[in-house]
Amino acid sequence: GRGIPGSATLLLFVLVMTTIWLGTLDSAREIIKERAIFERERSIGVPVRAYLASKVVLLYSLLLIQAAALAVIVVTLRPLDGSAGTRLSLFFVLVATGFAAVALGLLISSVAKTEERSTALIPATMIFQLLLGGAIVTVKNMGAAIAALSTLVFARWAYAGAGSVIHLNER
């Protein structure tokens, strides 16, 4: 057999949500905690995109390491059916998901007025990812308005991509 669908669903849910949590948590305080440095650099002519690029390179590198560690630990504890290519494809889905989460965290950090507020916004954004991602309530069981809103939640696309990679619908 190809495995138990409920077990695979739970595994994907944990992988996707953990990756989102890691990326958002890594980045949600980065800009706000360095607001004074950011303003000083802007005053001497450093472009915003250079500052942001330095943050993105660092945070994406960190996320790559975290996603690799997460994938290795999970696949070691709960081996996936499929080829090495399947595992690699799943890793790429997690990396893309983490990159989106880092971007979300940077957005939170750029709009928050204090580090405490940015930290407080993390659970709120995670709740939207959890509830509208399609893992707890499938998209087909959502009302039309909520299903339409769920198209804006990247957890939905990450979860669907991960399910597609491991052929979840065939299980």
Q: What percent of the chain has pLDDT over 90?
A: 51
**DSSP string covering the chain:** ----HHHHHHHHHHHHHHHHHHHHHHHTTHHHHTHHHHHHHHHTT--HHHHHHHHHHHHHHHHHHHHHHHHHHHHHHSPPSS-HHHHHHHHHHHHHHHHHHHHHHHHHHHH-SSHHHHHHHHHHHHHHHHHHSSSSS-GGGS-HHHHHHHTT-HHHHHHHHHHHHTTGGG-
Confidence label for 1 from pLDDT (cuts 50, 70 and 90): very low
Half-sphere exposure of 98 (CA within 13 A, CB side): 26
**More confident site: 9 or 125:** 125
pLDDT-derived band at 42 (thresholds 50, 70, 90) equals confident
Is-contact 78 14, C-beta < 8 A?
no
Contact 150, 156 (CB under 8 A): yes
Tokens 């948590």 sit on residue: 25
Per-residue pLDDT tens digits for 140-153: 899 999 989 888 99
User: Look-up: residue for tokens 């990812």?
Assistant: 129
As a whole number of angstroms, the distance between CA 30 and CA 140 comes to 37
pLDDT at 8 over 80: no
